Structures are given as structure tokens and as C-alpha cells.
């Protein structure tokens, strides 16, 4: 059992190291005003202090939110062109990583006339699997029976890993290793056909022509046989951690006490309070940008669904981990209702997604989006595939956004291959992701270049 536990944590580490984190962030130099630019929600839906991770009492959450709005109001009077810009990160972000990002980027964003509000949540690498293993059963907390039943859950995960050996081996040999541009797969052929339909529709397309640049270093490790062993364990163990992380995206707005007899207004989080209080103060008189990266788009979908009366001027999904179906069921209705809003779906070059690898191919190739489509999620139909993979969004765009008037406000952006643009799933925060130039594919000049170190 001890060996199994050690193997388990090794695999979980690998799973999340190659998941949806951003490039590592330098530690903060000072913390004194981070609370004006960050709302951090923990795994229980509670607001945490940026400085020390202490839970802020429920009675003090409104005071915390008032501080953010007062600071925004003060700076807005000094710079009338200031735009509220909400950024929601993806997975593999600890409290320190998320809070450090606030400190490192807030001044640069303010200089660009963006008031940054980082909506952060606990997506740390180990806590999600621990929750799955010890404390969650059927989506609810089980602090007594959970630990007692954990050996059975572990065995179930390990047996699932063994059962997935045939499927994962097939995927390694005939799918991931075949991600070569000259290989005309069914997916690539359908993409080419779908691209004609997108061109004929009313979408605003920013399609980089840079599709060359692979070298020997991209392929020499593809024959590494180690991933034939690691793949089924990542497949079998990763799903529980993934489901736990998805559960946490739901708790950013509403905590779990809502189904325990607590009145709904008492189950709302500080994030929920912010949207209600900001709207109460300003109605729709302010410019607001809503940006989600990776799993942050799942949280963004919840926001759009719950706050359709708030006008978000720009909704930006970077390497979206949400599905094509989510765009159709959440974003499309929102755009139908809010006719001044614009939507950007920004992706890596698909061959960068397909060939992203960790430690010389000791794990299966592909970005988090590839892993979601292939084994982390149950893909029952094409619409269940991720919206942040370029081939997917082009093949599914017309279905996701059938209204031609809405299409005129939908930008589909693909970056290039080995040309200085983002290359990995976690690279987006290394660029000025808050600027329109970047959303349209300009990463070299203007306001789309890399952010300051």
C-alpha cells in the first residue's frame, strides 16, 4: 500500500505539471494593496486574505468587496478611461501563485487603463485529488465515511488504470504520435471543410498563416516507451482529480451550504457579492472585460449564466477548457441578449496543442485540452469537445453560434507555430492577455507583446 501511495502521488504530480497552469510567477515583493485587486475563493467557497490565506469572516466579506469598489471608484475618477478587467485563471494555481500574479501584473494593467480584478480559486495540484480520495463522495463532502472508504476509492482508481491500458496504448501508438502536419487525418480533413463554412459565415477570423517550424527536437523523444506505462495511470487517476477541480469551479459563486437548508442568499460567495454590489453601484455604465483561461472559462460560463443582466463589453476565452456545447448553451444566449458584447475565442496553433510534451515524452503528448477530449471528460458527442482547440472550434463554430448577427461579434483567433506567439497551454499569462491586440492575434507589437518579467 505504501508503494501504491508513492506511485499515486508521483502520477498526480505529473498529471498536473502538464495540465493548465501558467508559467511560474515570481514571488511578490509587497502585499499591501493586493486585496483591492483580488478575490480569492477557497475550496469551501470562503473568501481568503491575500496576505496570509486566513478565512475572512462572512460578516466582513461585504466590507472587503466595498474596499475593492471604493478603490476602483477612486482610480476611475483619476483615469476616466479605466476599464474593469476580470481575469479568472485555470488549474494548478496555488494561493501563492495566484496572489503573486496579482502583484506582478496589476501595475502594468493599470498603466494600460485596465483595472485588474483577479478572481482566483484553489486549483492547487494535490488538494483536488486528496478531496476525491478522502473527502468527496457523489459530489458532496463526506468527512466521516470518506476517509474510511478511501482505500476502496484508491483501488478503484488503480483498477481503472489497469483496465485503461488497451485504450491508452492505442491512443499513444496511433493518435498522439501521429500528430504530424503532413498526416491528413480525418480531423484535419473535416477542419478544412468546416473552415470554408466559417469563411462563408459572419465570424471575424484571425487565422495565423504560420504553420511551419517543427524541428528534430520536437520529435526525437516521441519513441520514448515510458509513456506506455504512465499513460494508463494518468488516465485512471486523473479523472477523479479533474472531477474534483470541476466541482471547485462551481463553488466560486455558490458554496455547498445551499443544499443543506441554508437560504440561498447566505450561500453566496464574495465573488457573487462583488457582481451584485458592482452592478448596484454602476448598473451598466462601466466598461467590463471578462477573461478566462483554460478552466477559468468554466467559471466564466457560470458568471454569464447567472448575470445575464450585466453587460460585459468583451468576453475573452483563452485556450478554453469548456466545451463547444457550453458556448452554444451559455455564451450564444448571452450574446443574443446583450447585443453590445463581443466574444473572443483565442487558441494555440493546433499542432502546438497536439505536440506539447513534458520531460521528453515521459507522459502522453498533448496539452490539457487534448487530455480532456481524450480521457479526462466523457465525450459523448462532438459538442462535448473543448472549445479552446482550434480544430474543434472551427468544426463547431456554426453549431455553437448559429445566429448570423451574433457571428458578427464572435472573433476566432489562432496563434502561429514557433513564431514567438504562445506555444504552450500555460503561456498566455506571459503576454498582455488583457489587450485587444492580443485577442486578435497580435503578439509582437502594439499592446500584444509579452508582459514585463
Q: Kindly tell me the number of DSSP H helices and DSSP E strands found in the chain.
A: 18, 10
Q: Give me the number of domains the chain comprises.
A: 1
Q: Per the domain annotation, does 353 fall within a domain? A: yes
The model's pTM is 0.91
Q: Which residues, listed in sequence order, are joined to residue 121 by a DSSP beta bridge?
A: 41
Q: Per the domain annotation, does 233 fall within a domain? A: yes
Query: Is-contact 165 232, C-beta < 8 A?
Result: yes
Q: pLDDT band at residue 445, thresholds of 50, 70 and 90? A: low
Q: Per the domain annotation, does 341 fall within a domain? A: yes
Mean residue pLDDT of the chain comes to: 87
Query: Is-contact 324 383, C-beta < 8 A?
Result: yes
Query: What SS3 class is residue 268?
Result: strand
Do strands 288-293 and 83-88 pair parallel, antiparallel, or not at all (unpaired)? Answer: parallel
Domain limits for position 314:
1-22+35-440
Query: What SS3 class is residue 411?
Result: strand
pLDDT over 80 (residue 347): yes
pLDDT over 70 (residue 20): no
Q: pLDDT band at residue 397, thresholds of 50, 70 and 90? A: very high
- Cα–Cα nearest to 56, from 67, 201, 158: 67
pLDDT at position 187: 86
pLDDT at position 29: 40
Q: Per the domain annotation, does 452 fall within a domain? A: no
Which residues lie closer than 8 Å to 371 by C-beta, 6 or more apart? 19, 234, 238, 364
Chain Cα centroid distance, residue 92 = 10
Q: Per the domain annotation, does 447 fall within a domain? A: no
pLDDT at position 88: 99
Q: Per the domain annotation, does 451 fall within a domain? A: no
Helix %, strand %, coil % of the chain (to 5): 50, 15, 35
Q: Per the domain annotation, does 391 fall within a domain? A: yes
Q: What percent of the chain has a predicted confidence (pLDDT) above 90?
A: 62
Distance in angstroms (rounded) separating the CA atoms of residues 327 and 336: 12
Residues composing the chain: 453
User: Residue 187: which H helix or E strand, with range?
Assistant: helix 186-200
The string over 59-71, giving b where at least 16 C-beta atoms fall within 10 Å of a residue's C-beta and e elsewhere, is: eebeebbeebbee
Give the position of cell 486585496: 35
Amino acid at each position: 500500500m505504501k508503494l501504491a501511495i508513492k506511485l499515486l502521488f508521483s502520477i498526480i504530480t505529473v498529471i498536473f505539471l502538464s495540465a493548465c497552469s501558467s508559467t511560474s510567477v515570481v514571488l511578490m515583493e509587497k502585499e499591501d494593496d493586493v486585496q483591492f485587486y483580488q478575490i480569492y475563493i477557497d475550496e469551501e467557497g470562503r473568501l481568503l486574505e491575500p496576505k496570509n490565506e486566513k478565512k475572512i469572516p462572512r460578516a466582513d466579506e461585504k466590507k472587503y468587496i466595498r474596499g475593492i469598489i471604493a478603490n476602483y471608484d477612486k482610480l476611475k475618477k483619476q483615469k476616466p478611461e479605466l476599464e474593469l478587467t476580470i481575469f479568472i485563471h485555470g488549474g494548478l494555481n496555488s494561493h501563492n501563485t495566484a496572489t503573486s500574479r496579482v502583484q506582478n501584473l496589476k501595475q502594468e494593467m493599470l498603466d494600460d487603463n485596465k483595472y485588474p480584478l483577479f478572481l482566483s480559486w484553489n486549483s492547487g495540484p494535490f488538494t483536488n485529488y486528496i478531496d476525491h480520495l478522502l473527502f468527496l463522495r457523489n459530489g458532496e463532502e463526506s468527512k466521516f465515511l470518506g476517509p474510511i472508504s478511501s482505500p476502496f476509492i484508491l483501488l478503484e482508481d488503480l483498477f481503472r488504470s489497469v483496465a485503461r491500458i488497451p485504450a491508452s496504448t492505442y491512443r499513444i501508438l496511433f493518435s498522439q504520435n501521429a500528430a504530424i502536419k503532413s498526416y491528413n487525418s480525418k480531423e484535419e480533413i473535416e477542419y478544412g471543410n468546416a473552415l470554408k463554412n466559417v469563411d462563408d459565415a459572419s465570424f471575424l477570423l484571425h487565422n495565423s498563416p504560420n504553420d511551419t517550424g517543427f524541428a528534430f527536437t520536437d520529435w526525437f523523444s516521441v519513441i520514448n516507451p515510458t509513456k506506455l506505462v504512465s499513460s494508463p495511470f494518468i488516465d485512471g487517476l486523473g479523472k477523479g482529480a479533474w472531477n474534483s477541480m470541476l466541482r471547485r469551479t462551481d463553488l466560486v459563486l455558490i458554496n455547498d451550504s445551499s443544499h443543506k437548508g441554508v437560504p440561498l442568499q447566505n450561500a453566496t460567495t464574495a465573488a457573487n457579492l462583488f457582481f451584485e454590489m458592482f452592478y448596484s453601484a454602476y448598473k451598466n455604465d462601466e466598461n467590463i472585460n471578462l477573461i478566462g483561461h483554460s478552466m477559468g472559462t468554466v467559471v466564466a460560463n457560470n458568471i454569464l449564466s447567472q448575470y445575464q443582466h450585466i453587460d460585459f463589453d468583451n468576453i475573452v476565452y483563452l485556450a478554453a477548457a469548456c466545451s463547444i456545447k457550453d458556448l452554444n448553451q451559455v455564451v450564444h444566449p448571452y450574446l443574443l441578449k446583450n447585443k453590445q458584447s463581443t466574444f473572443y475565442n483565442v487558441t494555440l496553433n493546433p499542432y502546438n496543442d497536439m505536440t506539447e510534451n513534458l520531460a521528453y515524452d515521459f507522459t502522453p503528448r498533448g496539452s490539457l485540452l487534448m487530455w480532456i477530449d481524450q480521457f479526462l471528460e466523457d465525450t459523448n458527442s462532438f459538442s462535448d469537445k473543448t472549445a479552446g482547440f482550434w480544430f474543434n472550434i472551427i468544426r463547431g463554430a456554426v453549431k455553437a453560434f448559429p445566429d448570423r448577427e451574433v457571428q458578427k461579434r464572435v472573433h476566432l483567433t489562432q496563434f502561429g507555430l514557433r513564431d514567438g506567439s504562445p506555444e504552450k497551454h500555460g503561456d498566455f499569462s506571459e503576454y498582455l492577455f488583457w489587450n485587444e491586440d492580443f485577442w486578435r492575434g497580435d503578439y509582437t507589437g502594439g499592446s500584444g507583446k509579452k508582459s514585463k518579467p
